[in-house]
């Protein structure tokens, strides 16, 4: 009886050990399911068309390929190149969505970077999972490229 109690207690302790770190991710994931993904935003003191042109150049500098969008739409959609997994059975690709709009004092640039991963091609095509990258350094690099492009103009 004591062994069963010790086994149940140790299982419970192990199950709850990571709850502190998992709780915030779980809450964020649930919120994003209802509200949509959270874009990272920054305001630049420049005209929307100028910021759009500089953002397009920044997308290219980061190695992304422009897919769709335009200055009139205030949107850029871009994809990175495919990266094969170590076993060559899967692939990874980043997607960048940029929204531009008027803001007090300039133009607001909202960026969302997601990662699509297909673990095993043998499971069937189109079985990729998509995850929002919340804490990627790409956000800051992208904003830095825009700031440098605006100072050069």
- pLDDT tens-place string over residues 54-80: 999 999 999 999 999 999 999 999 999
**pLDDT tens digit sequence for 4-37:** 555 555 555 555 555 544 445 555 556 555 666 8
Could you tell me which of 37, 55, 38 has the C-alpha nearest to residue 46? 55
At the topology level, CATH places domain 37-152 in Alpha-D-Glucose-1,6-Bisphosphate; Chain A, domain 4 (3.30.530)
Which residues neighbour 145 within 8 Å (Cβ) at sequence distance 6 or greater?
54, 57, 58, 61, 62
- Dihedral angle sign, alpha carbons of residues 24, 26, 32, 38: positive
pLDDT on residue 21:
44
pLDDT in tens, 107-123: 999 999 999 888 765 56
For the chain, what percent of residues have pLDDT higher than 90?
Answer: 53
Give the single-character DSSP code of 31.
Answer: H
DSSP string across 56-91: HHHHHHTT-EEEEEETTTTEEEEE---EE-TTSS-E
- Find, among 32, 31, 29, 64, the residue nearest to 138 by Cα: 64
């Amino acid at each position: 009886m004591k062994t069963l109690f010790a086994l149940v207690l140790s299982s419970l302790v192990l199950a709850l050990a990571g709850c502190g770190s998992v709780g915030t991710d779980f809450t964020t994931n649930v919120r994003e399911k209802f509200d949509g993904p959270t874009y990272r935003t920054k305001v630049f003191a420049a005209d929307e068309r100028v910021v759009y042109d500089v953002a397009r150049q920044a997308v290219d500098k980061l190695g992304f390929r422009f897919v769709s969008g335009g200055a009139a739409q205030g949107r850029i959609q871009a994809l990175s190149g495919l990266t094969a997994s170590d076993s060559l059975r899967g692939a990874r690709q980043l997607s960048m969505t940029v929204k531009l709009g008027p803001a007090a004092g300039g133009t607001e640039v909202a960026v969302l970077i997601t990662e699509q991963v297909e673990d095993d091609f043998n499971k069937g095509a189109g079985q990729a999972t998509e995850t929002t990258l919340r804490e990627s350094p790409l956000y800051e690099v992208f904003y830095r490229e825009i700031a440098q492009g605006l100072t050069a103009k």
